[in-house]
Amino acid sequence: MHPSTHPFIHPSSLHIDRLLALQAKVDEHSQAITRLKTIWSIVAAGIAFLAAALRDWPFGEK
C-alpha cells in the first residue's frame, strides 16, 4: 500500500517528512559551501601573502 493511501498516515505528515528531508539536504549543501568558501579564503590569503613576500624580494640585488 502506498503511504499516501494508508488509512493511518495523514498526508500532511508525509509532506512534513519530505520537507524535513529537503531541509537536511539544504543544511548539508550549506555546510559544504561554507567549507569551500573557507578553503578558498585560505588559498586566497596564501596567494596574497606570497605576492607580498615576492614583491619585497630583492631579485638579483647584491
Q: Can you tell me whether residue 45 is helix, strand or coil?
A: helix
Q: 0.85 cut: is pTM over it?
A: no
User: Each residue of 7-36: pLDDT tens digit?
Assistant: 565 667 778 888 999 999 999 999 999 999
SS (H, E, C) 21-62: HHHHHHHHHHHHHHHHHHHHHHHHHHHHHHHHHHHCCCCCCC
Q: Hey, CA dihedral for 27, 28, 32, 33, is it positive or negative?
A: negative
Q: CA-CA-CA-CA torsion for 50, 56, 59, 62, nearest 10 degrees?
A: -140
- The residue ranking higher by pLDDT, 35 or 6, is 35
